[in-house]
A and B are shown apart, each in its own frame.
Chain A
Amino acid sequence: MRSEPVVQVQALVKRYGTKTAVDGLDLVAQAGVTAVLGPNGAGKTTTVETCEGYRRPDSGTVRVLGLDPVRQSRELRPRIGVMLQSGGVYSGARADEMLRHVAKLHAHPLDVDALIERLGLGSCGRTGYRRLSGGQQQRLALAMAVVGRPELVFLDEPTAGLDPQARRATWDLVRDLRADGVSVILTTHYMEEAEQLADDVAIIDAGRVIAQGSPEELCRGGAENTLRFTGRPGLDIGSLLKALPADCTAAELTPGAYRVAGKVDPQLLATVTSWCAQHGVMPDRISVERHTLEDVFLELTGKELRS
């Protein structure tokens, strides 16, 4: 039994002047954790901020918990928690002071001391926000997003710039939120994060969703697999290609390190090893790789750096 989606975005268009940041984006997020992935400038923040009620769509519709984020903002605001991509705290405020303040704006906030303890913010002591480390600032913003016991939390790059321990702590919190029935929409550049946390992943590029599904579905669907082996440098790739099925590619990545990409099945493995046998090559460290979300991501969004 599926409850209604927590976020429904239909044909959303959002422009800044002449620049189209979101270009007919459709996204449905169910209860649970949804990760939004995409290169810099893809439109993640714009989309999330439209859901939070900060931006009015140029066209298209947005519903969050069944409400219009702009027109029904009063009803919606107490029910969502927001972590902006950066900032949001008085530069002179101490971490605990700001968190207690946000708690006071809600009817049934979490226990602030426990949250401070859990996110390791106790060590911030009397330091003002401006002088906190980047990671401490991030954790404070995260705490502010959850302290009001919302039904749905928006986290815009919650682990950007965190050390591995702090990242784990954030992941654990997201998992606990999910287990306790809080839905989470998070944006991230870390594929591992999406694979670890998300029930559902949406990949955005140039203002559109170009793929959506569970991490497993995305890694399976469409994406090719890879076979790697090492041998002596300078093997005849042309000859190898002739032996392989037509839709396969082969390359020597670094001297002696070979990669075959295509539909990797037992037949392909046999073809490669018999070609090696014919050419007197001992294929060391032969391995078959399942595609990671990162491969899928790069495949879909291209490998060049965008401007």
Chain B
Amino acid sequence: MTTATGPATGTYAPKPGAAPLPRMIAAQAVLETKMLLRNGEQLLLTVVIPTLLLVLFSSVDIVDTGAGKSVDFLTPGILALAVMSTAFTGQAIATGFERRYGVLKRLASSPLPRWGLMTAKTASVLVTEVLQVILLTAIAFSLGWSPHGGPLAVLLLLVLGTAAFSGLGLLMAGTLRAEATLAAANLVFLLLLVGGGVIVPLDKFPAGARGVLELLPVSALSDGLRAVLQHGAAMPWGDCGILAVWAVVGLAAAGKFFRWE
């Protein structure tokens, strides 16, 4: 050593320390949300498509949605789609690319703990969903929507749905290549949009297929929301059960198999 390193005083003199946890998580959640709202493709998926489908299918009779106003049938399905688009598709694609570009890796050596990062991601998903729900219900009301049922059951379904979709999305993002995640997440979105009871009632499908389709998370979520919001059911335990199983399995698998780089 050529110079003694006494008690340092300069600009860069070490003064390490982690910020308080709540501040780190809040900062992370804000950044994640900003990134999401800034991304055009994400907005297409989370805002534009659900809005267009809601407006289009409520005003034009393309699909036979059974008795009653079509907006009453469609809105619960579109809300389920919105949850899926944010918690599953959007989160999977964003996280897949963050992994690919070393963002997750870089954050892993920052003072923010991994669970803190995951908490922030969840918060950012929830914030986005709140914005989606506000927007979509406002549009639905303007189209003559008349919802029934209690808000508590709706809230529980949305939370369980978010947990189920997040688990599956993170599982995909943490195991596949980013490009594969991009392709697969979009494909799954499209397939579930058609086959998950979102706009096409499941009783239009053959009985055999229907039995399987009913077990999909998006079907359980749209069916549950529909039971409450369209038919005024108290608490659709069956659908909650299906979502809870998906949530436990998905989150456990994501926790086990997720690779950070």
Chain A: CB-nearest residue to B10: A180
Judged by a CB distance under 8 angstroms, whether B102 is at the interface is yes
Judged by a CB distance under 8 angstroms, whether B142 is at the interface is no
Query: Do A149 and B16 touch (CB < 8 A)?
Result: yes
> Which residues of B lie under 8 Å from residue A182 when comparing CB positions?
8, 12-14
Contact code string B1-28 (vs A, CB < 8 Å = 1, else 0): 1110111111111111111100110011
Judged by a CB distance under 8 angstroms, whether A282 is at the interface is no
Query: Do A91 and B106 touch (CB < 8 A)?
Result: no
Query: Do B98 and A105 touch (CB < 8 A)?
Result: no
Contact of B16 among A86, A97, A114, A151 (CB under 8 A): A151
The distance in angstroms between the C-alpha atoms of A82 and B31, with both chains bound, is: 20
Chain A: CB-nearest residue to B14: A151
Judged by a CB distance under 8 angstroms, whether B145 is at the interface is no
The distance in angstroms between the C-alpha atoms of A52 and B98, with both chains bound, is: 19
Judged by a CB distance under 8 angstroms, whether B112 is at the interface is yes
Q: State the majority secondary structure of interface residues on B.
A: loop
Judged by a CB distance under 8 angstroms, whether B261 is at the interface is yes
Query: Do A150 and B109 touch (CB < 8 A)?
Result: no
Within the complex, the shortest CB–CB distance from A207 to chain B, in Å, comes to: 20
Q: Which residues of A contact B (CB under 8 A)?
A: 2-3, 30-32, 52-54, 74, 77-80, 82, 84, 86-93, 97, 101-102, 104-108, 110, 114, 144, 146, 148-151, 176-177, 179-182, 199
Judged by a CB distance under 8 angstroms, whether B246 is at the interface is no
Within the complex, the shortest CB–CB distance from A160 to chain B, in Å, comes to: 15
Show 8 A/B contacts (Cβ-Cβ < 8 Å), sorted by A: A77-B109, A78-B18, A79-B14, A92-B35, A101-B28, A104-B27, A105-B28, A176-B10
The distance in angstroms between the C-alpha atoms of A78 and B112, with both chains bound, is: 9
> Which residues of A lie under 8 Å from residue B14 when comparing CB positions?
79, 149-151, 180-182
The distance in angstroms between the C-alpha atoms of A285 and B108, with both chains bound, is: 56
| 14-60 of chain B: CB within 8 A of chain A | 14-20, 23-24, 27-28, 31, 34-35, 38-39
Tell me the number of A-to-B contacts counted with CB atoms below 8 Å: 133
B interface residues, how many (CB within 8 angstroms): 42
The distance in angstroms between the C-alpha atoms of A295 and B15, with both chains bound, is: 39
The distance in angstroms between the C-alpha atoms of A97 and B34, with both chains bound, is: 10
Query: Do A87 and B101 touch (CB < 8 A)?
Result: yes
Q: Which residues of B contact A (CB under 8 A)?
A: 1-3, 5-20, 23-24, 27-28, 31, 34-35, 38-39, 97-98, 101-103, 105-106, 108-113, 261
Within the complex, the shortest CB–CB distance from B114 to chain A, in Å, comes to: 10
Within the complex, the shortest CB–CB distance from B119 to chain A, in Å, comes to: 14
The distance in angstroms between the C-alpha atoms of A31 and B1, with both chains bound, is: 8
Chain A: CB-nearest residue to B8: A181
> Which residues of A lie under 8 Å from residue B35 when comparing CB positions?
90, 92-93
Contact of B5 among A31, A88, A114 (CB under 8 A): A31
Chain A: CB-nearest residue to B27: A104
* A82 touching B106 in the complex, CB below 8 Å, given contacts A107-B18, A149-B16: yes
- Interface core residue of B20, B38, B102, B106 (most chain A CB under 10 Å): B106
Contact of B3 among A84, A108, A179 (CB under 8 A): A179
Within the complex, the shortest CB–CB distance from B237 to chain A, in Å, comes to: 40
The distance in angstroms between the C-alpha atoms of A136 and B31, with both chains bound, is: 21
Contact of A105 among B1, B11, B102, B111 (CB under 8 A): B111
Contact of A149 among B3, B7, B13, B20 (CB under 8 A): B13
Query: Do B31 and A90 touch (CB < 8 A)?
Result: yes
Within the complex, the shortest CB–CB distance from A129 to chain B, in Å, comes to: 8
Query: Do A32 and B106 touch (CB < 8 A)?
Result: no
